[in-house]
Structure 1
């Protein structure tokens, strides 16, 4: 007989556990009822608060949801005021008054437990991890007003992240309750992302971390034609990609140049394909930074200490090639800490900027005419581990 009773108890416990597992769990966080130890605590905290019963799915309500309609005679997503809290520490009873019709009242009660346990009519439970599906409307509206429009920034990142919306968002799973989500706008990419409100700070941190893990790539976008009508304008093309740097080829009837931009300088191989000698007039060369500032140029063989002095032109005879570089003199400085000369980057110091360009004006003298070749590079910010599309 004792064995039979034990078997029945175990069977009932198993059925109860299975039944409990069938009920979807509401997780409204700070916008749901907190698990409190006593009825008096619920009374002090929630009397006078406005709530709405939020079903897991309006089209396919759960067993609990249907009970709110059929047994309690309540309505989904309708504002009720908690006018009275009674019961005891184990069973909490709410009297809900329709905020649009004070004469209409709803009786709602739930078990107040440490762990979810369901039996008979007591299928609603409020625990530390499980909340009854009553949504705190006033609390939500208060937080929403403070959250929408909030802007997050990071001193190392050029863009900001803005909260553009906050709402109770249905779950993709039919048996799961909605969760409060915010919409985050990445102002660098103009892309919005919807994330749970409780994960907002973490997601913003992830967005900034991803930006910091990227790099700038310089892509040759145009080569402006010299004013000399005898020079037939050529074309540019991507030649190769090595070590995260894209090299570009430009050819016309005077010269052929392979050029690319690293963070500290422009590197190039210039071949004379004309019938005359060419000269690179270094004193007239100019680099325009991403912020629009202009700098003189230094090249190979120029001493750092003499970078602002006059530099003789480089002559390239017919069929010959010049392997050289052009670096902005205003980015060169002596580091007292390192006890050496250093070249600061031409690229932005803040991560994630867009719409920035670098420009190199290289004066090429043919006979007595100086022809200005202007190479314009777009700065594209890409994540580490990814490659930029060819320019």
Structure 2
């Protein structure tokens, strides 16, 4: 009996040590993530929020301020404009329609949108819009100035008006399908093709096919509504005027300027849930999902391999006032969604990439 008692006591001590070590490791991990998030804000941004999921655990952090004139941090469950993270949503709907036989990947743009593209689009396919090899120019320069300010933040744009902006710009001289060139116009046209194929707006189709089934309660496509739902952090653009910095609050913005290429409002939790469902095979047919994640630029998905060898898939997004990054590992066991409410001009991308590496790459020796 005495020996058994000693054995139980030893086991209890060992369990306590293991638990304490695991708790300490978790605390150290959280401190490392918080430091990496603080470094993003230290580049000159107003604030940032992030959600990191790893093997069933979730870490949420905030840094900086929700508003420049108040000390409160950005709300962890805050809404934000996610910009081009809209593209994977649009691509998902297109590929669902492909699976239903309503759109063909090799259908021409001219077939769906006759006469819209200057010079004709009979040689440009849906596939080439999805992977940005259409060669069509990007209309962003006509919408946002070099200083990052919208040329008309209150105007309501139709998809047709946005598409026609590109007609005044030169096309890529390379034949369609041969050269990658990122263009928001590709996804404006895809939004229009969704509408032609379904008879409903791209907003309705994304909502009924993705947002509602996944229960993404913080995600919406606001159309011409310029107000960002609460809670949220404010986004800013700072420019030089007459030799001094002038800051503009860009929180209130008519997002139709981005349409099916960049209009979406979301949360870090919702974006992680969306990419987990998408990459987990719950939204798109397996063969089409493989094409979404093929190479570095598939169908609406950007992919990269981090320094530790982890392969991640997702998208980044920028719109005046906000910058978003959302990526998920191939096995969906690790996820990161990061939203930055902007302030000053310095590029936070290196710090954001460092945050991704901190979140995705386990400590210890790397392959």
Q: Which has the larger radius of gyration?
A: 1
TM-score normalized with structure 2 length: 0.22
Q: Between Structure 1 and Structure 2, which shows a larger proportion of helix residues?
A: 2
Q: Between Structure 1 and Structure 2, which shows a larger proportion of strand residues?
A: 1
Q: Of the two structures, which has the highest relative contact order with CA contacts closer than 8 Å and spacing of 6 or more? A: 2
